[in-house]
Amino acid sequence: MNPLSTTDHDRDSAALRYIYPVVSRRAGGVSVGINLNPNNACNWRCIYCQVPNLTRGTAPAIDLSVLEKELRGFLAELLHGDFMQTRVPEGARRINDIALSGNGEPTSAAEFTRVIELIARVRREIALRPDSGQALPEAMKTVLITNGSLLHRSEVQRGLRDMARLNGEVWFKLDRASAAGMQLVNDTKTSIDKVRDNLIAAIACCPTWLQTCWFALDGAPPSRQDEDDYLEFVSGLLSDGHKPQGVLLYTLARPSLQAEAPRLSKLPAEHLKTFADRIAKLGLPVKVSS
Ligand code: SF4
């Protein structure tokens, strides 16, 4: 088999329905991805989205017994099989996290909270049976990559509180901080007030990072107004006592699979750094990947 590269996020690379491995360039190790949207359905349509045949919608019913079997089996393979040696480049042979991500919005799954309970159970049981030398790293995180749009739901918030007990981290999408910007980039009519409310809820439930994709559209980087809107939004949060862990600022890593793809391009590292420096002045850590 070919080794996985840091740009290989093929959901089928482990030939499973829900579980897929990713070598994360951001985290420097293997992330065990859980895709709750094998139907490629999301309630947003970000113009940089890399999901093939993306459709509007929600996650299908999740077969929890299949998911549990796949998660147990894949973690056992990572710990005791030859997957790390044969598929993962040297230097990235460690398990970083279990990440709820995939081909749509994970919190749209009706079973979201039960999925978190399932992860907790599997982690606990594997930790209790370190039967052949290797065990799960204690620091292994449970990460939720979300557009945040459904975090007003009480059952999703319950899932986030459970995640917090599993070294949880929420990566909350904030690409633009104006209604017009979100309409343009995320193709959603969500209001900034709703984003703010949902973000405050996320921060109250679980350590939360902002994840921000910054790229050029028709050759033009985000405007000074886009930057100012973003900084004003974040500084308003901070002055009201709602502090995210920091900002994950990145540019396009792989080509968009949306119709706008030919209009999008990566931003140079210096451009990201200049914006990162402005964010950092607010007192938030910024991790940049370009
Ligand atoms: S929120 Fe994520 S999955 Fe949904 S359209 Fe945007 S990038 Fe794609």
Strands 95-101 and 216-217: unpaired
Q: Is the CB–ligand 1 distance for residue 44 below 6 Å?
A: yes
Q: To which residue do tokens 């439930």 refer?
A: 205
Q: Is the CB–ligand 1 distance for residue 57 below 6 Å?
A: no
**Would you state the pLDDT for residue 139?**
80
Rounded to the nearest 10 degrees, the angle between the axes of helix 154-164 and helix 112-128 is 20
**Would you state the pLDDT for residue 4?**
53
Residue 205 C-beta-side C-alpha neighbours within 13 Å: 26
**Would you state the pLDDT for residue 27?**
64
**Would you state the pLDDT for residue 136?**
76
**Would you state the pLDDT for residue 92?**
87
Distance separating alpha carbons of residues 74 and 20, to the nearest angstrom: 9
Chain segment 114-142, per-residue pLDDT in tens: 999 999 999 988 876 655 456 777 789 99
Question: Do 32 and 18 contact (CB within 8 A), yes or no?
Answer: no
Q: What is the mean pLDDT of each run of 10 residues along the chain (290 residues)?
A: 49 78 77 96 98 97 98 92 89 91 96 98 80 69 97 98 97 98 98 98 98 97 98 98 97 94 96 98 94
**Would you state the pLDDT for residue 7?**
47
Q: Note the Cα 231 to chain centre separation in Å.
A: 22
Residue 161 C-beta-side C-alpha neighbours within 13 Å: 8
Q: Note the Cα 51 to chain centre separation in Å.
A: 13
45 CA: nearest ligand 1 atom: 5
Q: Is the CB–ligand 1 distance for residue 210 below 6 Å?
A: no
Strands 168-173 and 216-217: unpaired
